[in-house]
Amino acid sequence: MPKSPPTIIPEEYAYELRIPKERIAILIGKSGEIKKQLEKDTESRINVDSEEGIVQIKGANAIHLFALREIIRAIGRGFNPEIAKYLLKQDYALEVINLSNYTSTQKELIRLRGRIIGEGGKARNTIETLTNVYVSVFGKTVSILGSFDSIALARKAVEQLLSGSPHSKVYYWLERKQKEIIKKEWIPNE
């Protein structure tokens, strides 16, 4: 009797991460819609422990699973799930800046958060507009979601604000950088 070929079982990958408990409902969505859609989009499984804020993800596709991990991190850092799903695109990434690296007091943390958000959200909106990224200020973090080049520019702007640069100086710098980028795109190489 001939031997049958061995059955190949695909390798499964897994991550476990913790997100703030108040963001669990956002991850799951109404009637579990967000969770189900993310599982479908990434061909993965999501297990959520609502009591502890622990999220376990498993799947056979390592690239999809990494993207799912980043999406869950983004949701945990305050992003809307629809915005977080941009991380399924290959050239998008999430950058998280820990404000604890810039201060040790609660009073100073509140002040730094205020500098990034600005009055009525103006500073955050200006950074988002000039760099084409999304910015979320949540807890002790500032998170930036966008293309790799855009994130680098936005991170530099945020770091300048955190180090005390005047808002007007940071906006001017961003506008200059945007003009340089546009000029490079429109002028052919000689």
Residuewise pLDDT in 10s, the chain (190 residues): 667 666 665 688 999 999 999 999 999 999 999 999 999 999 999 999 999 999 999 999 999 999 999 999 999 999 999 999 999 998 999 999 999 999 889 999 999 999 999 999 999 999 999 999 999 999 999 999 999 889 999 999 999 999 999 999 999 999 998 888 777 776 666 5
Over the chain, what HEC string results? Answer: CCCCCCCCCCCCEEEEEECCHHHHHHHHCHHHHHHHHHHHHHCEEEEEECCCCEEEEEECCHHHHHHHHHHHHHHHCCCCHHHHHHHHCCCEEEEEEEHHHCCCCHHHHHHHHHHHHCHHHHHHHHHHHHHCCEEEEECCEEEEEEEHHHHHHHHHHHHHHHCCCCHHHHHHHHHHHHHHHHHHHHCCCC
The whole-model pTM stands at 0.88
List the domain boundaries for the chain: 9-88, 91-190
Same fold, 9-88 and 91-190: yes
9-88 maps to CATH 3.30.1370.10: yes
Which superfamily does CATH assign the domain made up of 91-190 to? K Homology domain, type 1 (3.30.1370.10)
